[in-house]
Amino acid sequence: MRINRFFLFAGLILVAMLTRLIPHAPNFTAVTAVGIFAGFTFKKRILALLVPFMALWLSDLIINNVVYSGYYEGFTFLTEGFLWIYGGMAVAVIIGMFGLRGFKLTALLLGGLSAAVSFYLITNFGSWLGSSLYPPNFYGLIASYIAGLPFLLNQILGTLVYGSILFGSAYVLKIKPATSRADA
């Protein structure tokens, strides 16, 4: 089935954004699954990376400047620690690009799990490095990872649930991975 790439691009951004804006358990969103799926679907790597980056940035603009505006002084253009967050999402996209070639269930499960764990390791390292909450030693790093465990579980579950929906829909609609197409 031929899918309009612009609508797929915009639709993925919108889905990821909405799952961050509706009430949800912390980190139980579609963003990681969308990142993996974008890497799997778009041949142009910049488009694949832009999907989760745009979803994060646009939803952060709303979250930081509307929902939690009382916690910030003035307009917040970028969330503190955004480089760690975006770096973690880039790993999810890379997993979609290079780790998945088809709709094999084991590869999809391992890809989702790997992306969620990578995001957790990268962002909690960044939190430890840039925060006074944790001592600047090995025990502080371990404390930051322990504090993040509930978020990791939610992210794994969210990635697997939303990933099942995205990849299941792609399978039914016969959307092929970027590696098997001449377009996109």
Number of domains in the chain: 1
- Residue 184 inside a domain? The answer is no
CA-CA-CA-CA torsion sign (40, 41, 45, 48): negative
- Residue 56 inside a domain? The answer is yes
Q: Does the structure show a pLDDT above 60 at 9?
A: yes
Show the domain range for 151.
Answer: 5-178
- Residue 93 inside a domain? The answer is yes
pLDDT digits (tens, 9 = 90+) for 105-141: 999 999 999 999 999 999 999 999 988 899 999 999 9
At a CB cut-off of 8 Å and minimum separation 6, what does 170 contact? 37, 40, 41, 103
- Residue 183 inside a domain? The answer is no
First vs last C-alpha separation in the chain: 13
- Residue 111 inside a domain? The answer is yes
Please calculate the CA angle 126-51-64 and round it to the nearest 5 degrees: 55
pLDDT: which is higher, 183 or 124: 124
| Residue 22, Cβ density class (10 Å: 0-12 exposed, 13-18 middle, ≥19 buried) | exposed
Rounded to an integer, what distance in angstroms lies between the CA atom of residue 149 and that of residue 126?
A: 15
- Residue 170 inside a domain? The answer is yes
Q: What is the CATH number of the domain that holds 152?
A: 1.10.1760
- At 2, the pLDDT band (50, 70, 90 cuts) reads low
